[in-house]
Amino acid sequence: MTLFRQLLMVIVLSFLANLIGVLWLQFESTRDYLTNQLESDLNNTSTSLSMALTPHLAEGDAVLVESTINAYFDGGYYSKIEVEILTTEQTVSKAIPVRINGVPSWFVDLIEINVPDVETTITDGWLQAGVLRIQGHPGFAYKQLWEAFVSMSSLLSMLSLVLIALASIGINLVLKPLARIRKKAQQIQERKFGEPLPLPQTKELRSVTKSINQMTVKLKEQFEEEARLHNKLKEQAFQDATTGFGNRAFFNRQLQAWLSDEPSGAVVFLELLGIDEINKKDGWTKRDDVIKSAANFIDGNFNDESGAVKCRLSAHEFALILDGLDNQQIEEQLNKLASHFQNTSYRENFYQERIFNMGAVHITAGASNGEVLSLADNAMQQARSENSGIYIAKQSQQQQTKMARMEIKDAIEKAIDASALGFTRQPVYGFKGADKPLHFEAYAKLNLEDMGAVNAGIFISVLEEFELGDQFDKKVIELVIEHLKAGSEQVYAVNLTASALKNDQFIDWMIDALKAIPQYTTQICFEFTEESVIYNREKIEAMCAQFADLGVQFGVDRVGRNFSSLSYLQSLHPNYVKIDHAYTQMALSSDNDAYFVGSLCTTIHNLDVDVIATRVENEEQLNILKEYHFDAYQGFIYKPEPFEIGKESN
């Protein structure tokens, strides 16, 4: 029972006890008054009737005696009048059964009224002429008491309702600070700290509220300090201090992770020429300004939302990983970047004509770090001999010409309209109780004309470029819901594209679709990348709040890939996160690198969010990862399996 109900019950019962006591005293007083009134009436009647009967008794006229009795009997409340004529030894009486109309029998049985009776000796001079006995009728008294009881009960009920209403309002006002404290405690449990609570006027609640506010501030500071510490350690280990880009160690890990994940895009090396001369002639401050300007050009050309990985390998070398670009796009982007370097105001900082070289390798298949770095080095050598300073190499001489992107776009639209999608799924298992998967991540493939079944890694960049993500995601969600309605008992995670998350109409459609299937909301969850959250935070937070209201779980993918703070997790509060698989490789590579993985997991766990390891490929890796406080894992230890919509796989 809630405190509100307990207080209300105490107040109402106390009030009722007092009110019932007062009303009962009033009731008893009324009953005594009616009894006395009845007795007084009998005495008056006895006196009056005695005088009226005296002449008739002297004559012994029983007929007149009876007539007189009848007259008095019909004019009052009596149950019996009896006259004993002593001269003739006759008895004349009149009586009626005691029936009380208009009063419930239970009330008569419950309330006892002592009915008075009167006996009077009638004399004629000095002689006794007769004896008069009168017994009162309780009907009038009971009727008066019943009416008084009904009136008092109505008053009691009305006053009780008024009291309950007023007490409820008063208790709610008094307990409002407690409700805020309870809500705040729930928010703290979910690591949502928010603003401090206003201080109430009640002394006791005021001190409790102060304590809650102080605890909130300390917990918030503790989390922020842990997050700052993790970010600081990460920056020291993997971030270049001058540009804010990743360093060589970060590049190597990101490259390895990217190449193991059906890569499609480019690896670009860029070198700035004449940096040492600027340092000698103008000092290190000018040198750093020139490098920062170059980093700004790169940052403006390839924003983080595109998934580009930007690193500084040495004093004058940069490296980029560009995901999802074809050969034409690579060339366009590098030429665009070159135009920034050719800007007159930037070239004036250098003491030589040629200030940069860019070598790129177009990647279309998995390869080792060494192979790709060798190709990129060769491309850089070729770029140094090119007039433009730019050279793009292919990963293989047998690399086939791809369809034009507009042709791919048209093929994607046709495939979406025709629902030409295929699906595979990969389970996510918890480290504890791993008999049943926590959920399956659903991977969609498009059956494109002239290309066959194509994985998302091939066409996702086209979806984003032409903003087709909302159409694709809508079709995937519809098919997954259809699969659930067909009887599937599994939980499926659907990945949402960045362009779809920018579309308000798509989000509204998705929420409406989920509201229409409340019985399946626990069987579908959604994932989106960390980059999407960072660059579209406001919309995603609003969307996730609606997910939480509907009981739909959601998670953030590729967490830790960026150098941004993890503070967004505090406001978003996902059910789980999947850390970038580069961290999995770090945990497996060395104890020093694994320290950062443990730090990341601890920081996220402090927000009461589950952490899922990705790219787990065998039991040996699984046993190692158990030591780093992961809650679940996913990877090629369980390879993706195909499944058909409407048919549950075993």
Q: What is the pLDDT of residues 406-432, one digit of tens each?
A: 777 888 888 888 888 889 999 999 988
Give percent of the chain above pLDDT 90.
31
Q: Which residue has the tokens 């997790």?
A: 569
Give me the pLDDT at residue 369, please: 86
pLDDT at 194 over 80: no
Compute the average pLDDT of residues 445-473. 79
**Cα gap 232→563, rounded to integer Å:** 10
Give me the pLDDT at residue 345, please: 92
Q: Report the range of poorest mean pLDDT among 72-86, 135-149, 180-194, 262-276.
A: 180-194
Give me the pLDDT at residue 412, please: 85
Which tokens hold the place of 623?
């046993």
Q: Report the range of poorest mean pLDDT among 188-202, 487-501, 565-579.
A: 188-202
8 A C-beta contact, residue 8 and residue 164? yes
Pairing label, strands 78-85, 127-136:
antiparallel
**Cα gap 255→373, rounded to integer Å:** 9
Q: Which residues contact 161 (CB under 8 A, 6 or more apart)?
A: none
In 3-state terms, what secondary structure has residue 320? strand
What's domain 257-394's architecture? 2-Layer Sandwich (3.30)
**Cα gap 50→45, rounded to integer Å:** 8
- Per the model's pLDDT, the better-predicted residue between 585 and 345 turns out to be 345
Smallest Cα–Cα separation from 441: which of 460, 424, 464, 416? 424
Amino acid at 162: V
pLDDT at 267 over 60: yes
Which tokens hold the place of 565?
């703070």
CB atoms within 10 A of CB 13: 10
Compute the average pLDDT of residues 160-184. 80
Smallest Cα–Cα separation from 255: which of 161, 355, 373? 373
8 A C-beta contact, residue 167 and residue 12? yes
Give strand pairing partners of 24. Answer: none
Could you tell me the pLDDT band of residue 132, with boundaries at 50, 70 and 90? confident
Give me the pLDDT at residue 295, please: 94
- Per the model's pLDDT, the better-predicted residue between 247 and 66 turns out to be 247
Could you tell me the pLDDT band of residue 67, with boundaries at 50, 70 and 90? confident
Give me the pLDDT at residue 540, please: 95
Could you tell me the pLDDT band of residue 591, with boundaries at 50, 70 and 90? low
Q: Which residues contact 409 (CB under 8 A, 6 or more apart)?
A: 462, 466, 468
pLDDT at 612 over 90: yes
Strand ranges for 466-561 from DSSP E? 492-495, 524-529, 553-559
Considering only the top CATH level, what class is 3-161?
Answer: alpha beta
Give me the pLDDT at residue 90, please: 80
8 A C-beta contact, residue 148 and residue 25? no
User: Burial code of 469-484, b = ≥16 C-beta within 10 A, e = fewer?
Assistant: bbbbbbbbbebbbebb
8 A C-beta contact, residue 188 and residue 208? no
Give me the pLDDT at residue 503, please: 93
Give me the pLDDT at residue 383, please: 92
Q: Which residue has the tokens 């509220």?
A: 209
**Cα gap 430→428, rounded to integer Å:** 7
Q: Tell me the C-alpha to C-alpha distance, in Å, between residue 355 and each of 276, 278, 341, 352, 596.
A: 12, 12, 8, 7, 37
**Cα gap 183→216, rounded to integer Å:** 12
Give strand pairing partners of 311. Answer: 246, 319
**DSSP-assigned letter for residue 403:** P
Compute the average pLDDT of residues 567-575. 87
Smallest Cα–Cα separation from 24: which of 153, 158, 162, 160? 153
Q: Which residue has the tokens 């020139």?
A: 290
Compute the average pLDDT of residues 504-526. 96
What are 315-328's pLDDT values in tens digits?
A: 899 999 998 888 88
Q: Tell me the C-alpha to C-alpha distance, in Å, between residue 542 and each of 77, 434, 467, 504, 537.
A: 80, 33, 21, 11, 9
Q: Report the range of poorest mean pLDDT among 31-45, 177-191, 227-241, 367-381.
A: 177-191
Give φ, ψ of 583 to 5 degrees. -70, -30
Residue range(s) of every CATH 3.30.110.200 domain in the chain = 3-161
Question: What is the SS3 string spanning 228-279?
Answer: HHHHHHHHHHHECCCCCCECHHHHHHHHHHHHCCCCCEEEEEEEECCHHHHH
Give me the pLDDT at residue 566, please: 80
pLDDT at 527 over 50: yes
**Cα gap 133→130, rounded to integer Å:** 10
Smallest Cα–Cα separation from 375: which of 272, 302, 457, 266? 266
Q: What is the mean pLDDT of the chain?
A: 84
pLDDT at 399 over 60: no
Compute the average pLDDT of residues 127-132. 81
8 A C-beta contact, residue 462 and residue 412? yes
What are 270-291's pLDDT values in tens digits?
A: 999 999 999 999 999 999 999 9
Residue range(s) of every CATH 3.20.20.450 domain in the chain = 405-566+639-643
pLDDT at 549 over 90: yes
pLDDT at 487 over 60: yes
What are 204-235's pLDDT values in tens digits?
A: 778 888 888 888 888 777 777 777 777 777 77
pTM beyond 0.85, yes or no: no
User: Burial code of 131-169, b = ≥16 C-beta within 10 A, e = fewer?
Assistant: bbbbbbbbbbbbebbbebbeebeeebeeeeeebeeebbe
CATH topology for 405-566+639-643 is TIM Barrel (3.20.20)
**Cα gap 633→612, rounded to integer Å:** 5
- Per the model's pLDDT, the better-predicted residue between 524 and 570 turns out to be 524
Could you tell me the pLDDT band of residue 401, with boundaries at 50, 70 and 90? very low
**DSSP-assigned letter for residue 433:** S
Compute the average pLDDT of residues 230-249. 83
CB atoms within 10 A of CB 613: 26
- Per the model's pLDDT, the better-predicted residue between 530 and 595 turns out to be 530
Residue range(s) of every CATH 3.30.70.270 domain in the chain = 257-394
8 A C-beta contact, residue 619 and residue 635? no
What are 346-377's pLDDT values in tens digits?
A: 999 999 989 999 999 999 887 888 889 989 99
Query: For the chain, how big is the Rg over CA atoms in Å?
Result: 47
> Could you give the count of Cα atoms lying within 13 Å of 53 in the half-sphere of its Cβ?
35
